């Protein structure tokens, strides 16, 4: 079992509510120069959950389950909400017909500063736009004590314990559904921090989509990005590896695509070794989304 500093990690309460759906512009122009008018981010998405395909929906950047924001909309608080919520954190409904029901944080989406939450289908049907949620946040500051060059971000101890990870002498093997190159990463690249939000896999080139089987990506898939260092921001570094989770669906906008939230990263070649594993999806690992009990 991996040795971590879990007993030293702070647990904090975060309070959020449903983020309303919005129309960004009357039409958005896709990478092909064509205008689109389609549903986007926000709200309660009843029919798209973790475990579902990230491709094929008549929408743009769709977020699975519940899209939430901090109940205090001041910028500093929305940043803290997005920063402290970690994938795998427990969520409890505080209000309404579904009061007391529990869910799980599945990812974060930058720009809109949304925290994405999965609840069972029965709970989703009971939620309203006025409901509030309490996230029991824990994970930022997580360290693997025997592997100091690996940095963990946005990763709850709960999820870490479920991930397909095998410890080796000089590092760890991590099960992933896809291994992709850093060269196809787009929106969000160059960010000074990977502790909030996500960055997108670009999907505008059909040959690249086919080569790396990007059209088989599912929400919740744990993937590896080669030559990508997320240690102190998102950048290209030969030999580095970043492990991420697919948080939102594909996009028709240039430089965009399925968004991924960082879980682990290492700038040293060979320390994190990605191994293909078709079951490396948080919905399957945590028994949520399309794999709920």
Rounded Cα gap, residues 69 and 242, in angstroms: 26
- What does the pLDDT look like over 233-246, one tens digit per residue? 999 999 999 999 99
Quick one: 120 and 166 in the same domain?
no
Dihedral in degrees, nearest 10, Cα atoms 211, 212, 218, 222: 170
Is 144 inside any structural domain? Answer: no
Domain assignment of residue 95, given as a range: 6-137
Quick one: 110 and 166 in the same domain?
no
Quick one: 163 and 241 in the same domain?
yes
Question: What 3-state DSSP class applies to 92?
Answer: strand
pLDDT for res 270: 96
- What does the pLDDT look like over 18-40, one tens digit per residue? 999 988 778 889 999 999 999 99
CATH number for the domain spanning 49: value is: 2.40.10.170
Quick one: 211 and 256 in the same domain?
yes
Question: What 3-state DSSP class applies to 24?
Answer: coil
Q: Which residues of the chain have pLDDT under 50?
A: none
Quick one: 115 and 172 in the same domain?
no
pLDDT for res 193: 86
Quick one: 206 and 78 in the same domain?
no
Helix (H) or strand (E) holding 134: strand 132-137
Quick one: 187 and 119 in the same domain?
no
pLDDT for res 165: 97
pLDDT for res 22: 86
**What tokens were used for 13?**
């309460």
H-only helix segments in the chain: 75-84, 121-126, 157-162, 206-211, 282-286
Whole-number Cα distances in Å, 153 to 5, 139, 195, 224, 239: 13, 7, 6, 14, 19
Specify the number of domains making up the chain: 2
pLDDT for res 291: 96
Quick one: 199 and 70 in the same domain?
no
pLDDT for res 146: 95
Quick one: 181 and 286 in the same domain?
yes
Q: Which of 77, 106, 137 is the last residue of a domain?
A: 137
**What one-character-per-residue DSSP string does 222-284 give?**
EEEEEEEE-BTB-EEEEEEEEEEEEEE---SSTT--SEEEEEEEESSTTTEEEEE-TT-BHHH
Is 90 inside any structural domain? Answer: yes
Quick one: 132 and 169 in the same domain?
no
pLDDT for res 189: 93
Is 73 inside any structural domain? Answer: yes
Quick one: 32 and 95 in the same domain?
yes
């Amino acid at each position: 079992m991996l040795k971590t500093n879990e007993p030293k990690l702070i647990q904090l309460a975060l309070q959020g509510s449903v983020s309303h759906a919005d129309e960004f512009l009357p039409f958005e122009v896709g990478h092909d120069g064509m205008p689109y008018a389609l549903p986007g981010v926000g709200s309660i998405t009843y029919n798209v959950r973790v475990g579902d395909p990230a491709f094929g929906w008549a929408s743009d950047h769709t977020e699975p389950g519940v899209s939430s924001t901090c109940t205090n909309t001041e910028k500093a608080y929305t940043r803290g909400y997005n920063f402290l919520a970690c994938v795998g954190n427990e969520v409890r409904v505080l209000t309404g017909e579904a009061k007391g029901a529990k869910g799980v944080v599945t990812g974060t989406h930058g720009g809109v500063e949304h925290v994405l939450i999965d609840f069972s289908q029965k709970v989703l049907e009971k939620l309203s736009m006025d409901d509030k949620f309490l996230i029991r946040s824990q994970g930022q500051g997580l360290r693997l004590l025997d592997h100091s060059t690996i940095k963990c971000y946005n990763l709850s101890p709960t999820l870490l314990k479920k991930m397909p990870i095998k410890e080796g002498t000089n590092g760890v093997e991590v099960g992933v559904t896809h291994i992709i190159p850093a060269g196809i990463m787009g929106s969000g690249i160059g960010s000074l921090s990977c502790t909030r939000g996500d960055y997108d896999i670009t999907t505008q080139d059909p040959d690249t989509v086919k080569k790396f089987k990007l059209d088989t990506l599912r929400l919740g898939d744990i993937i590896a990005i080669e030559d990508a260092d997320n240690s102190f921001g998102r950048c290209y570094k030969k030999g580095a590896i970043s492990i991420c989770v697919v948080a939102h669906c594909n996009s028709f906008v240039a430089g965009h695509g399925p968004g991924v939230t960082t879980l682990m990263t290492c700038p040293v070649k060979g320390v994190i070794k990605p191994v293909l594993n078709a079951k490396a999806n948080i919905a399957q690992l945590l028994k949520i989304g399309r794999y709920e009990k």
